[in-house]
Structure formats: structure tokens, C-alpha cells
Amino acid sequence: MRWIEGANGEDGLLLERDGGRDKDYLVVEDVRSKSSKDEMKLHDSRTLMRSPWFSVDGRRVYPSEVWPSRDLRSVLIASEKKSVSEGRSTVTMLNTELLG
């Protein structure tokens, strides 16, 4: 879980990754609206990735890191992070457009 900014720099968007059984893999929840004094009310949520993997050329790819775009229409995904030598690392980066 981590907080992210909205498209206009607003606070209150919670990025949840790997929410467990019965939840999608990557979801943004808007918790800005309040229903009473100190009680937070879920205003809106959006699924960015349903599954913890996706297929590329017949291979399953699992994200190491994810960064949603500000407009929440695409996700930059780092996968296959490997240490090359003496503190250096290599990462495969994919940018996926959200469909539907």
C-alpha cells in the first residue's frame, strides 16, 4: 500500500498491490470523501490490474515494481529485476495501456 497523487496533484488516492484472495492485484482507492467527523468513506476505486501476472510472447511476467500514470490509464511495470554486478541491476520495463 502507498499513497499516490491524482491527475491534478490531489491527495487521497491509495494504491493497493496484491490485496489477497477475492481482490484484484492492483487497485487505486479514492478515500478523500468523509461520511462523518473522523470516519473515512470509500468514494471510488479503480482496478488497474486484475491478475498478478500477464503474458508476453507466451511467457508469464510478474511485476517487481509498478507506477500508475497520473490519469490512471496506464501502468509502468518493472519486471525481472536482477543484480548484474557490484550493486548494479537490470530491469525490464513495460508500459501497459489499460483496456476497457
pLDDT in tens, 30-50: 877 555 555 555 557 889 999
Per-residue pLDDT at 5 exceeds 70: yes
Does the structure show a pLDDT above 60 at 100?
Answer: no
- pLDDT band at 99; cut points 50, 70, 90: very low
Length of the chain: 100
Question: What is the distance between the alpha carbons of residues 2 and 70, in angstroms, rounded to a whole number?
Answer: 14
Q: Enter the C-alpha cell of residue 63.
A: 511485476
Q: 501497459: which residue's cell?
A: 96
Confidence class of residue 11 from pLDDT cuts 50, 70 and 90?
A: confident
- Can you give the pLDDT at residue 15? 92
The cell for 87 is 550493486
In a 10 Å sphere around its CB, with 0-12 CB exposed, 13-18 middle and 19+ buried, how is residue 87 labelled? exposed
pLDDT tens, residue by residue, 39-79: 555 557 889 999 999 888 898 989 988 999 888 888 988 88
- pLDDT band, very low/low/confident/very high, at 22 (cuts 50, 70, 90): confident
